[in-house]
Amino acid sequence: MKILAPAKLNLALDILGQEEKSGFHYLQTIYLKILLYDEIELQESDEWKFEFFTQKKFLREDIKKINPLSNIFHKVLRHYQGQKKYFVKVNKNIPVGAGLGGASSNAAALLKFLQISNKYQHREFKKNENSFIEKLNSKIKNCRAADKSLAVGADVNVFMVEGQLLLGEHFGEKLTGLDFDFSSVAKKVFIYLPRKLRSQTQNAFSCISLKKSAKDKGKTEKFLKLIKNKSLKKEDLPSLIHNDFLQIKELSEVSEKLQNRAFLTGSGSAFFAFEDLGCSDDFIKIECELSYYMKNTSPEEKL
């Protein structure tokens, strides 16, 4: 069985504070899911096994950094009560440490699969494999397991729910769907991945000054108002898109190399733009289509 796990961008990201007990940061952010996917294949096995591979040359070094014996999938397994085990193979297309949510999306895909598949008997699968997979994928699409997703990672819940455009609050896991077709504003997104810089979210938060954060909340409010009124236009985006992680020196220097015309994805290190800025040797460019997320697509094609 194959599941597609999408990437995301943050169109706005305000760091509002930090909870002392957990260390989690309070956020206000606008998520946009994009048509860039990791492909996850699951096969029943006598033991849990994980394999990561890629057909992209520029991702081969990234793959080497993923430990198949200790990764985000193992956090998912802490919440799994079933008996079946699986061989999980991940064909990586989403860069690692780029702020695109690849690891969280992978975790959400596995978490949804396990929660749904655990409710079925193995004999039903054997009786009619094709109809079982169709039914299972349909249920996976509608699974909303927020209770366990936060325990795995704060932004895993983004990939547990339907929707192209989402408002994230609290730690980013409290979500409100935004009824707006972003592809009416932009048809493509161009991702610019620095060849020599990768960022881990936990490390990025440790570099943030709360005193310098949350200065652009007014931009987020305007962004949301235009979305609600369905009046957002492409020319509005440069003045509205913002990200508090851009205060990190290494990331601001990357932004300057892109002439400050691209925007930071999540906690970095990749940047994105809704027009082709070209690409120097310092960057790898990834071009993605935008569409009204999951509209009129079959369950087996997309989650």
CATH of the domain at 145: 3.30.230.10
Residue where a domain stops, chosen among 177, 202, 222: 177
pLDDT at 143 over 60: no
**Over pLDDT 70: what percentage of the chain?**
82
pLDDT at 200 over 80: no
* Residue at 303 is within a domain: no
Mean pLDDT along residues 75-88: 85
Does 125 lie in the same domain as 214?
Answer: no
- 155 and 44 in a common domain: yes
pLDDT at 79 over 70: yes
Residues 74 and 208 grouped into a single domain: no
Same domain, 165 and 213: no
What is the β-pairing status of strands 25-45 and 165-169? antiparallel
Residues 171 and 187 in one domain: no
Check whether residue 228 and residue 81 sit in a common domain: no
Determine the pLDDT at residue 147. Answer: 46
Q: Are residues 209 and 87 in the same domain?
A: no
pLDDT(301) > 50: no
Distance CA 24, CA 208 (A): 13
- Verify that 67 and 202 share a domain, yes or no: no
Q: Residue 287: which pLDDT band, with cuts at 50, 70 and 90?
A: very high
pTM: predicted TM-score of the whole model, two decimal places = 0.85
Domain boundary among 177, 205, 231: 177
d(C-alpha 128, C-alpha 131), whole Å = 6
How many domains is the chain built from?
2
207: three-class secondary structure by DSSP:
coil
The string of pLDDT tens digits covering residues 147-161 is: 444 455 678 889 988
- Positive or negative, the Cα torsion across 239, 245, 249, 250? negative
How much is the average pLDDT of 122-142? Answer: 44
Q: What is the pLDDT of residues 207-258, one digit of tens each?
A: 899 999 999 999 999 999 999 999 999 999 999 999 999 999 999 999 999 9
Q: Give yes or no for residue 97 having a pLDDT over 60.
A: yes
- What pLDDT is recorded for position 34? 95
Mean pLDDT of the chain: 84
Q: Are residues 145 and 87 part of one domain? A: yes
Domain harbouring 197, CATH code: 3.30.70.890
Same domain, 128 and 41: yes
Please state the rounded mean pLDDT for residues 138-147: 45
> 189 and 137: one domain?
no
pLDDT in tens, 6-18: 999 999 999 999 9
Question: Burial of 298 by CB count in 10 Å (0-12 exposed, 13-18 middle, 19+ buried)?
Answer: exposed
Q: Is residue 113, in this structure, part of any structural domain at all?
A: yes
Domain residue limits at 268:
182-289
Task: Report whether pLDDT(146) > 50.
Answer: no
Q: Which of 157, 177, 197 is the last residue of a domain?
A: 177
